[in-house]
């Protein structure tokens, strides 16, 4: 963009680092285990082990739902080398204020979405 860009900086101001926010699992149902969830400025990073075959894992639909009912869906995920640990980044940052989130993991089977696991995540 053309023009003069001047942004005053105050070297005496206190710059605070943005700390990641950890979520604890308060309830978990279905075929997942070892779930971890941490939000930072760019997204909510979730990792979990899923007791499903590799064909099923490739078709997962992963989202979180906040207390107001807003859904934040993944656009993809990765599997570790053993194809058992799923790593996903969801579009939900540490700047958002919700204290409880619901993780919903589904798969499309016979033309319908079927939930295979859920978890309640609480901000520490």
What pLDDT is stored for residue 3 in this prediction?
A: 82
Question: Taking 70 as the threshold, does the pLDDT of residue 16 lie above it?
Answer: no
Query: What CATH number does the domain containing 111 carry?
Result: 2.60.40.10
Q: What is the reported pLDDT for 17?
A: 66
Give residue 57's domain range: 21-123
Q: Is the pTM of this model over 0.85?
A: no
CA distances from 96 to 18, 24, 41, 89, 93 (A): 13, 16, 9, 15, 6
Q: Is residue 5 part of a domain?
A: no
Beta-sheet pairing, 21-30 with 112-123 = antiparallel
Q: What average pLDDT score do residues 11-17 get? A: 63
Whether 2 is covered by a domain: the verdict is: no
Look at the chain and report how many structural domains it folds into: 1
**Higher pLDDT among residues 61 and 84, named by residue:** 61
Residue at 101 is within a domain: yes
Domain contains 13: no
Residues 100 and 77: their CA atoms lie apart, in Å, by 22
């Amino acid at each position: 963009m053309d023009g003069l860009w001047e942004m005053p900086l105050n070297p005496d101001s206190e710059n605070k680092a943005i700390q990641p926010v950890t979520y604890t699992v308060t309830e978990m149902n279905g075929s997942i285990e070892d779930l971890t969830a941490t939000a930072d400025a760019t997204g909510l990073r979730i990792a979990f082990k899923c007791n499903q075959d590799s064909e099923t894992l490739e078709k997962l639909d992963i989202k979180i739902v906040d207390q107001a009912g807003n859904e934040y869906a993944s656009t993809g995920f990765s599997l570790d080398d053993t194809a058992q640990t799923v790593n996903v980044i969801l579009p939900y940052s540490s700047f958002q204020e919700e204290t409880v989130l619901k993780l919903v993991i589904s798969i499309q089977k016979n033309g319908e979405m079927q939930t295979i696991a859920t978890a309640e995540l609480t901000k520490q």
